[in-house]
Structure 1
Amino acid sequence: MAKLTFSLCSLGFFFCFIMCSSYVHGKTWCVAQTQAPEPKLQEVLDYLCGRINCADIQPGGSCFDPDTVRNHASYAIDMNFRTNDECDGSYAAIAVTDPSYGACVYP
């Protein structure tokens, strides 16, 4: 029983270490919440693309595909996070897993 408890504690410590070290080293992104409604994300996307460079989510851009409001909003939200250090919890969330995919690389 003591061996099992030690193993579970070690596993918990390791998981916490990985999560905390990612956060401490600035490896965080701000992306659209999965439950955020698309009309809200479209509103946010329109607003943010008036303030930041959204060329990567325009046709031909490295992050255009898949062409969905949620994917485009996530990219714009993260670019705003990088530029203005803003991550609005009403529609976005901090992620510790890199949301990059294919040719689309989040900074």
Structure 2
Amino acid sequence: MAGLLNFMLLFLAMAGYSSATWCICRDGMSDSALQKTLDYACGAGADCNPTHQNGPCFNPNTVRAHCSYAVNSYFQRNRQAPTACDFSGTAVIINSDPSAAGCTYPATASATSVTPVGGSPLITTSPNGVLGGTNNGLGPSGFDTNAARGGKTRLRKRIVMLAFSGLVFLWG
């Protein structure tokens, strides 16, 4: 009986995956496209404070580096839903940690924090003014955080049901 219980616990532990994923801005994109993506992500709830001057992720001070940090923050805050890393094709999901030189990219939603200035969403600006925020066509289209949460819940229920069925089969 103890062996069966250990088997079931091992099975359940393996069923819940823990591989981390990150979202970064694609190589080869123009700075203006990346700036729009950066502005959208920061305006839509990403924690962009670390990319501000004197922040741990300010350097390298490039649009691509700041964009990658912002889209990853947005992606993590939306529970790594694949649709939360689209941004009209300017971003991509990766499996290797992009953190470097004192700049740690969050790997989970709990690792992100937003400290809005004056209680409003953070929005970065370009030389031409604020480019993003909302309704600029860069957001993950059709993204619904409730649907993403529901999918994970259904998966967990299926795993539990499969484990229970296996237990009943082995027991009886």
Q: Which residue of 1 aligns with 2:31?
A: 38
Deviations for 1:78-103, whole angstroms, at most 9, x for unmatched residues? 00100123010611111111000011
Q: Which residue of 2 aligns with 1:8?
A: none
**Deviation at 1:37?**
1.8
Q: Which residue of 1 aligns with 2:57?
A: 63
Alignment partners' CA distance in 2, 1:74 and 1:49: 11
Q: Which residue of 1 aligns with 2:92?
A: 93
Runs of 4+ in 1 over 2 A off after TM superposition: none
Q: Which residue of 1 aligns with 2:103?
A: 104
TM-score (norm 1): 0.73
SS in 2 for 1:49: helix
Q: Which residue of 2 aligns with 1:26?
A: 19
Q: Does 1 or 2 have the higher relative contact order (CA < 8 Å, sep 6+)?
A: 1
Q: Which residue of 1 aligns with 2:160?
A: none
Q: How many pairs does the alignment contain?
A: 85
| Aligned AA (1:90) | G
| Aligned AA (2:38) | L
* Among candidates 74, 77, 94, match of residue 80 of structure 1: 74
Deviations for 1:62-83, whole angstroms, at most 9, x for unmatched residues? 1000100000000001001001
TM-score (norm 2): 0.47
Alignment partners' CA distance in 2, 1:48 and 1:95: 18
Percent sequence identity is 40
> CA RMSD, aligned part only?
1.7
| Aligned AA (1:95) | I
Alignment partners' CA distance in 1, 2:72 and 2:100: 14
**Deviation at 1:48?**
1.4
Q: Which residue of 2 aligns with 1:13?
A: none
**Deviation at 1:35?**
1.8
**Deviation at 1:51?**
2.2
Q: Which residue of 1 aligns with 2:152?
A: none
Q: Give the gaps of 5 or more residues in structure 2.
A: 1-16, 107-172
